[in-house]
Amino acid sequence: MEQADDGTPALKPGRGRRKADDVRRATLVAASELLMDEGVGAVTFSKVAARAGVSKVTLYKWWPSPGALALDAYFATSRETLAFPDTGDVRHDLTEQLRAFVDLMNRSGTTIAGIVGAAQSDPDLSEALSTRYVQHRRALAVERLSTAQQAGQIREDVDLESIVDQLWGACYHRLLLPAQPLTHEFVDHLIANLLRGITPG
């Protein structure tokens, strides 16, 4: 794809400049493909620019680091798979969402673990992981839990942030410190433990 020298998307005959939205979408698709195929280390501004047919200067303007771009791409592509359903039944909805989440981990676990692993020794990636992925995902989860709390399905005094760590965090634990499998049965245990409690009576 052609590019203008000044770093803006190329003019195409009769069609005007490529729209910013299109450039952004093409960039995220290219970054996501590189991420899934080759891991987070392969997501460089040069490679993404070449693959998306976008100027490197544009990428430098829009993203503070290649890690930030990688995380935005991951967030965008996983958004649909990891959507939070709201049928009004919190047990059903959590089961659906968390089963989809472990399915994704079983498909793309190496990529996800690669991002989290690399972030532990890369301050830019760590910052991007936190601000561009973790905080957004936590907010979406807390939003669904909050709806359940307002509907009287979760007690008023329960700290919703800690639930996020006990559902999705428990799955990350099995991915990053492997010892036990990430199955639908595991998801069912996680939800049952919290909804019913683990003590008798």
* Spatial distance between the Cα atoms of 39 and 21, rounded to a whole number of angstroms: 25
- Residues 6+ away with beta carbon under 8 Å from 120: 126
Nearer to a second copy, 106 or 193 (CB): 193
- Taking the C-alpha atoms of residue 124 and residue 122, their distance in angstroms, rounded to an integer, is 6
Residue 197 sits in the site that holds a second copy (CB under 8 A): yes
Contacts (CB under 8 A) with a second copy, residues 137-196:
138, 152-155, 158-159, 161-163, 165-166, 168-174, 176-180, 186, 189-190, 193-196
Q: Which long-range contacts (CB under 8 A, 24 or more apart) does 194-199 make?
A: 194/163, 194/166, 194/167, 195/91
The CB density around residue 112, as the number of other CB atoms within 10 Å, is: 19
Cβ closest to a second copy, residue 59 vs residue 102: 102
How many other β-carbons are positioned within 10 Å of the β-carbon of residue 43? 26
Among 81, 120, 146, 150, contact with a second copy (rule: CB under 8 A):
120
Q: Which of 116, 124, 132, 143 binds a second copy (CB under 8 A)?
A: 116
Out of 68, 119, 128, 141, the residue judged to bind a second copy by CB under 8 A? 119
Between CA 10 and CA 103 the distance in angstroms is: 39
16 binds a second copy (CB under 8 A): no
What x/- string results for residues 47 through 76 when contact with a second copy is judged by CB under 8 A?
Answer: ------------------------------
> Quick check: 118 binds a second copy (CB under 8 A)?
yes
**Residue 174, C-beta contacts closer than 8 angstroms, at least 6 positions apart:** 180, 181, 182, 186
87 binds a second copy (CB under 8 A): no
Q: CA 17, 21, 26: angle at the middle one, nearest 5?
A: 90
The contact set with a second copy (CB under 8 A) reads 113-114, 116-121, 126, 129-130, 134-135, 138, 152-155, 158-159, 161-163, 165-166, 168-174, 176-180, 186, 189-190, 193-200
